[in-house]
């Protein structure tokens, strides 16, 4: 069975199990309890960590290391929608399947946190530390991540469409099968990042550093790549038509600095240094990236075939979080983006020789078969 999830202009079917209906129902905004018959998770929408810590003036946050310490806590499937968790220490916390939609997490520590399948829709994560965080299949639609630290983060199958990542650090992040359509990545660090099967369609990549990164089966249609750096990057089977190389105007660049400094008061200088490459008054690499990306460019048919191959490898990798990744690939539309290759991809994922297949629930299998049937025209 399904229920509809409506967020902004995004509408996606979410498959629901009987377990979720019994224990993980929607939250009643009045009672702040789940509407399901039972609940075995913490439900604290609108929780105010500053109030709990008796920090009566937000300005006092600058003088404390953490507003609250929740290191290593078991918060699986917890609900923190609209919560104020600024500067909370959630290092190594267990938050898989948690809901933190529209939560304030500015300068929070989520280092090595377990956030597989979590929802952080429009969460405020400016300057947050997510070093090595496990975010496989997580939803970060429209999240604010300016100046955030995401080095070594596991973001396979995650959804970051429309996310704002100006000046963020994603060095050596695992972004296979992630969706970053229309994301703002000006001045972001993506050196040594793994972007196989990812979507950067219409993303703003001006001044982004992709040095040594890997792109294969990657969608870059309409992306803005002025002063982006692809030195030593492995670029194969990229679908990259209509790339934009227009220079950023002085006015546009000038507007970026106060935004970074205001959004990331601590660490803003570091984030701003990353976007300094976009200053039109400073000489930077002016060589067209068209030639670099052209070498690995393929047509749509080849792109879909290679995308399907990359997603199959990802799903059947044997990783313990593969089930979250596949659910993410369903929800972020990367499986759907394989087009006529989707039936074969789904069949491969469901085969017994794919180590993931045994871990998939009936709900997962039904969602995959629905995608395959839609692609093949079956009803």
Residues in CB range of 59: below 8 A, 6 or more apart: none
pTM reported for the whole predicted model = 0.88
- Contact present, 98 and 118 (Cβ < 8 Å): yes
Query: For position 32, what pLDDT does the model report?
Result: 54
In a structure prediction context, what are the per-residue pLDDT tens digits for the chain, which is 379 residues long? 333 333 433 334 444 454 454 445 565 555 455 554 444 578 999 999 999 989 888 778 888 899 999 999 999 999 999 999 999 999 999 999 999 999 999 999 999 999 999 999 999 999 999 999 999 999 999 999 999 999 999 999 999 999 999 999 999 999 999 999 999 999 999 999 999 999 999 999 999 999 999 999 999 999 999 999 999 999 999 999 899 988 888 888 888 878 777 777 666 678 888 888 888 887 655 556 777 888 899 999 999 999 999 999 999 999 999 999 999 999 999 999 999 999 999 999 999 999 999 999 999 999 999 999 999 875 4
Partners of 239 in the beta sheet? 219
Angle at 89 between CA 96 and CA 260, to 5 degrees: 100
Query: For position 288, what pLDDT does the model report?
Result: 64
**Interior/surface letters 202-233, b for 16+ CB within 10 angstroms, e for the rest:** bbbbbbbbbbbbbbbbbbbbbbbbbbbbbeeb
In sequence order, which ranges of the chain are alpha helices (DSSP H)? 18-23, 49-52, 250-263, 268-275, 290-294, 300-315, 322-331, 342-350, 362-376
Q: Is 279 exposed, middle or buried (0-12, 13-18, 19+ CB in 10 A)?
A: middle
Query: For position 9, what pLDDT does the model report?
Result: 37
CA distances from 273 to 167, 179, 257, 298 (A): 8, 26, 10, 35
Which of 60, 67, 61, 62 has its CA nearest to residue 85?
67
Measure CA 125 to chain center.
Answer: 12
Query: For position 36, what pLDDT does the model report?
Result: 43
Residues in CB range of 31: below 8 A, 6 or more apart: none
- Give kind and range of the element (H or E) at residue 120: none
Q: How far is 325 from 218, CA to CA, in rounded Å?
A: 17
């Amino acid at each position: 069975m399904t229920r509809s999830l409506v967020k902004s202009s995004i509408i996606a079917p979410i498959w629901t199990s009987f377990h979720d209906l019994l224990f993980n129902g929607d939250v009643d905004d009045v009672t702040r309890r789940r509407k399901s018959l039972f609940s075995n998770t913490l439900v604290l929408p609108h929780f105010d960590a500053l109030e709990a810590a008796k920090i009566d003036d937000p300005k006092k946050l600058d003088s404390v290391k953490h507003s609250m310490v929740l290191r290593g806590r078991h918060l699986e499937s917890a609900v923190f929608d609209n919560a104020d968790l600024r500067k909370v220490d959630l290092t190594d916390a267990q938050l898989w399947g948690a809901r933190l939609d529209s939560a304030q997490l500015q300068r929070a520590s989520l280092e090595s946190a377990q956030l597989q399948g979590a929802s952080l829709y429009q969460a405020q994560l400016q300057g947050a530390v997510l070093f090595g965080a496990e975010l496989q299949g997580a939803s970060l639609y429209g999240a604010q991540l300016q100046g955030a630290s995401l080095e070594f983060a596991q973001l396979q199958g995650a959804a970051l469409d429309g996310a704002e990542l100006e000046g963020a650090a994603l060095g050596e992040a695992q972004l296979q099968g992630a969706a970053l359509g229309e994301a703002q990545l000006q001045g972001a660090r993506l050196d040594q990042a793994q972007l196989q099967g990812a979507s950067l369609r219409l993303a703003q990549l001006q001044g982004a550093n992709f040095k040594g990164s890997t792109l294969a089966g990657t969608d870059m249609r309409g992306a803005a790549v002025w002063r982006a750096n692809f030195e030593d990057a492995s670029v194969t089977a990229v679908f990259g038509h209509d790339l934009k190389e227009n220079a950023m105007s002085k006015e546009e660049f000038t507007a970026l600095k106060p935004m970074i400094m205001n959004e990331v008061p601590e660490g803003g200088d570091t984030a701003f240094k990353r976007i300094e490459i976009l200053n039109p008054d400073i000489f930077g690499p002016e060589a067209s990236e068209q030639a670099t990306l052209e070498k690995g460019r393929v047509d749509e048919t080849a792109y879909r075939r290679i995308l399907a191959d990359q997603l199959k490898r990802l799903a059947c990798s044997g990783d313990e979080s593969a089930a979250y990744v596949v659910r993410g690939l369903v929800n972020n539309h990367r499986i759907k983006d394989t087009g006529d290759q989707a039936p074969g991809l789904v069949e491969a994922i469901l085969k017994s020789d794919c180590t993931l297949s045994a871990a998939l629930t009936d709900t997962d299998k039904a969602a995959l078969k629905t995608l395959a049937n839609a692609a093949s025209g079956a009803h």
